[in-house]
Amino acid sequence: MAITVRKFSNACYWITVVIITLFIALYLVFFRIVQDKVSNYPAPTAKIGFYSHASVGSLFFLSGLIQFNATLRHKYKTLHKICGYFYFTMSILVILSLIPLLIGGAETGISAWLFSILTGPLWLWANYLSYKAIINGDVTLHRRMNIRAYGFACSIIWMRPIVSLLSAPWSVTSFDEVQPRISEALKSVMWFTVLIEIMAVELFLHYEDKTRAPLVSAEKGSPFLTSQEKAALSLFDRNPFTPAKVVVFEMLNKNVLRIVFHLEGKAIITGPGEHISLRAKVNGKKTTRNYTPITTRSNMEAGLVELVIRLVPNGAMSSILQSSATNDTTKELPAFQISHCLEAFDYQANKHAFILMAAAGTGITPMINIARYILKNPADKTRIHLIFSVRNAEDTFLENILKDLVQQTISPSRFSYEVKHFLDVVTAESIHGFTSKETSSRILLSGPERFVRPLEASLVKLDKTVQVSSFGVSDR
């Protein structure tokens, strides 16, 4: 079985969960507090510093584990947001709690002072950049800086076994029990653990940049992209954003915009369900949002990116696009850039006999993207039925693409669709009516949270054996 970035990331996450849990429960609570009575910090100020640092540090690590849990992040976005503010606050308190600890006499002496002064501000800066990125809507940068900051913090945990290894030749449990010069030398060596951890994180990010799981691992037939094509795609450069020029600006209705960009750099080839980041810079301020393109393969190769976006009142990106659409000469024209995002849809040809897609509004875009890829592979026999939920006839934009997919399909049973208007509600029971007749099926949901979340919860209750995947849509 091939090791993909996602599998490797999941393995790293759960190993970190185990290590942090053991560190807090066994080392921090049982050994240092219960058994040792914090004997290495005899001064009252140092003891206060230790307890404060240990408390906020533990909360920082635990809230970080919640932040990095993909399931919680996707299903409970409000919890993720609240936990994010808490996590960022704890990162500040972690540094502040070091002050009484250092003043009262840190266990590692001068090296602790040097380490805190040199690296503390850098660590806070990484956390700040992560916070600033998510405020600006740059999810990719937010995630990368979070990984850097959290990995850096985890090096404090990895130091503990290093202490034991370095102290072993002298049969002591603390560096202070050996000669002063040797002690300081060992303490300095111990801090190199931080450098090792930083290198490990950067190697992981480099591996993530250069490695990509196969877009489709067909059981029969060839993948959608050949190995040569995938090798040629440098998806995440040091500066992954490519300048883009607007070539088509079309209002599909009063609220929905179709916009086509031409990339001034290399072409972007997206996989099934994979989205891109659109960045607009106006008056020096950058706004970034993620969208799923509906670009055909031939247009991708020509350097085009086609998006369908619902314009939301007072939305940050929507306001920029709206002013561009109305040719508002009183405002500065935005400079657009586009890059790939990290997550793609996990699909394997012929794994399921039937896929039921349910989409609302602009949630239709990832469904079109995925359907094209599935139907493109003649060796893939997966059948698709799409339910497109709209408010009224005016919202049936892109139905022409759905009709084209029906006409282009060799076997009539491979792709079908139906349009449901606002009063004809899409229910979990109606969806289950399709999947219950199949031996192997999968359900894909896409649209606003008010459409996706209730359906997802109800479908899981109805039948836990059917895999349900969802795509969130927010044009704000």
Q: Which residues sit in the known binding site for FAD?
A: 289, 291, 308, 317-318, 365
Dist CA 470 CA 453 (whole Å): 8
Report yes or no: 25 and 81 within 8 Å, Cβ to Cβ. no
The 3-class secondary structure across 234-299, one letter per residue, is CCCCCCCCEEEEEEEEEECCCCEEEEEEEECCCCCCCCCCCCEEEEEEECCEEEEEEECCCCCHHH
Show the tokens assigned to 160: 């503990």
Q: Is 303 left (phi over 0), alpha (psi -120 to 50) or beta?
A: left
The 3-class secondary structure across 217-233, one letter per residue, is CCCCCCCCCCHHHHHHC
Residue with tokens 């307890």: 51
Residue with tokens 């960009």: 261
Question: What 3-state DSSP class applies to 152?
Answer: helix
Q: How far is CA 142 from the centre of its chain?
A: 9
Show the tokens assigned to 383: 């059948």
Instruction: Look at residues 252, 301, 307, 299 and name the one whose alpha carbon lies nearest to residue 280.
Output: 307
Query: Which residues line the annotated binding site?
Result: 289, 291, 308, 317-318, 365
